[in-house]
Amino acid sequence: MICEQFPPEAWINVYTGGSVTYDIEDNGAGIAIYFPSGRTEAPSAATPIHYSKYKAESEALMLAISIDVDSQQRSTMAISLTDAIYKP
- Whichever domain contains 59, its CATH number is 3.30.420.10
Residue 46 CB neighbours (<10 A): 14
Q: Domain span at residue 14?
A: 2-69+76-81
Which pTM value belongs to this model? 0.73
Distance of alpha carbon 29 from alpha carbon 34, whole angstroms: 17
Task: Tell me, yes or no, whether 87 lies in a domain.
Answer: no
Burial 10-21 (b: 16+ CB within 10 A, else e): ebbbbbbbbbbe
Which residues lie below 8 Å from residue 77, measured CB to CB, with a gap of 6+?
6, 10, 11, 12
Q: Summarize pLDDT for 34-87 with one digit per residue, the tens.
A: 888 888 888 888 888 778 788 888 888 888 888 755 545 556 788 888 876 665
> Which residues on adjacent β-strands are paired with residue 13?
34, 79
